[in-house]
């Protein structure tokens, strides 16, 4: 009677662990940060205020596409207001105009953001789906490696000041039950400059970059993957599954990693 035991505990490649980095504000120090991340094979999501491009200390709009190639460009509003203190039509304008400006530079849909100042309220969160936003990062670090319960209130593991210690814990962790484990770091490139601790990027890069058992992902990729995971169609006895999504999806069957290619029906 009992069927096979399915567990959604794998990222692409069958890996149980993923690492993601989320940096705000698009300051000029992103140039150095991105170059360092590229050397180590780390990937990031960069939340940009399109209204500040070209200002003193900020990156220029003409360099956006090339600078962040291989990473993700994401919204952070046009002018960085406190959204919970803004009227709803202004919230909509700040987000949609930022998306529009960033999309024209990136050449792909921008459907994520981080909250300016990390602040929000239920009204703002409730508006996001109608503004085409699928995820929004907060600054409420929780120290853990869990996938977000609510991607519109996506709390990070830690600030980048703590990322080396967190990466060591992350790589050493063996959860009691197998599950998807995410190291999710947030911060600002200018803080490395202000604090004189750029070496943190190299240290975390040395820990994580060479690891082939870690999925280096952008936030949009994680959201898309989890959505596709939720679309898998299993037979009632779980002896086969259909994957209607455009992604190859991994999961475990009686503890073993299995994948279903896009569009495939797989016997388990």
| Residues engaged in binding Zn ion (CB under 5 A) | 24-25
Cβ proximity to Zn ion: between 27 and 216 the closer is 27
Residue pair 202/175 in contact by the 8 Å Cβ criterion: no
Place of tokens 């999504």: 245
Shortest distance, position 11 Cβ to Zn ion, whole Å: 28
Shortest distance, position 24 Cβ to Zn ion, whole Å: 4
Q: Hey, is 48 helix, strand or coil? A: strand
Shortest distance, position 190 Cβ to Zn ion, whole Å: 10
Shortest distance, position 56 Cβ to Zn ion, whole Å: 17
Cβ proximity to Zn ion: between 117 and 198 the closer is 117
Cβ proximity to Zn ion: between 25 and 221 the closer is 25
Cβ proximity to Zn ion: between 9 and 25 the closer is 25
Cβ proximity to Zn ion: between 20 and 48 the closer is 48
Cβ proximity to Zn ion: between 24 and 98 the closer is 24
Instruction: State the DSSP string of 84-118.
Output: GGS-HHHHHHHHHHHHHHHHHHHSS---EEE-GGG
- Enumerate residues 6+ apart whose C-beta is below 8 A from 209: 40, 41, 42, 216
Q: Are strands 249-253 and 6-7 parallel, antiparallel or unpaired?
A: antiparallel
Alpha-carbon span 170 to 87, nearest angstrom: 40
Q: Which residue is nearest to Zn ion (CB)?
A: 24
Shortest distance, position 114 Cβ to Zn ion, whole Å: 7
Alpha-carbon dihedral angle through residues 142, 143, 146, 149, given to the nearest 10 degrees: 0
Alpha-carbon span 76 to 115, nearest angstrom: 6
Shortest distance, position 25 Cβ to Zn ion, whole Å: 4
Place of tokens 């490139």: 189
Alpha-carbon span 132 to 98, nearest angstrom: 12
């Amino acid at each position: 009677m009992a069927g096979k035991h399915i567990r959604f505990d794998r990222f692409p490649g069958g890996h149980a662990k993923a690492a993601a980095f989320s940096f705000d504000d698009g300051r000029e120090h992103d140039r150095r940060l991105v170059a360092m991340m590229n050397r180590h094979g780390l990937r990031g999501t960069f939340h940009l205020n399109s209204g500040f491009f070209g200002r003193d200390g900020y990156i220029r709009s003409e360099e956006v596409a090339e600078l962040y190639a291989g990473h993700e460009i994401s919204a952070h509003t046009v002018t960085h207001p406190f959204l919970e203190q803004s009227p709803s039509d202004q919230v909509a304008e700040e987000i949609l105009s930022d998306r529009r400006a960033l999309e024209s530079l990136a050449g792909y849909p921008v459907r994520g953001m981080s909250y300016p100042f990390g602040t929000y309220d239920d009204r703002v969160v409730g508006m996001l789906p109608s503004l085409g936003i699928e995820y929004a990062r907060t600054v409420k670090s929780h120290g853990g490696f869990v996938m977000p319960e609510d991607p519109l209130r996506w709390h990070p593991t830690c600030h980048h000041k703590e990322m080396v210690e967190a990466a060591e814990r992350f790589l050493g962790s063996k959860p009691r039950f197998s599950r998807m484990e995410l190291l999710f770091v947030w911060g600002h490139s200018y803080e490395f400059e202000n604090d004189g601790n750029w070496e943190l990027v190299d240290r975390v890069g040395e820990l994580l970059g060479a690891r082939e058992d870690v999925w280096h992902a952008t936030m949009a990729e994680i959201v898309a993957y989890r959505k596709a995971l939720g679309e898998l169609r299993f037979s009632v006895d779980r002896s086969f599954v259909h994957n209607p999504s455009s992604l190859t999806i991994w999961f475990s069957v009686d503890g073993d990693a299995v994948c279903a290619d896009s569009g495939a029906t797989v016997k388990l």
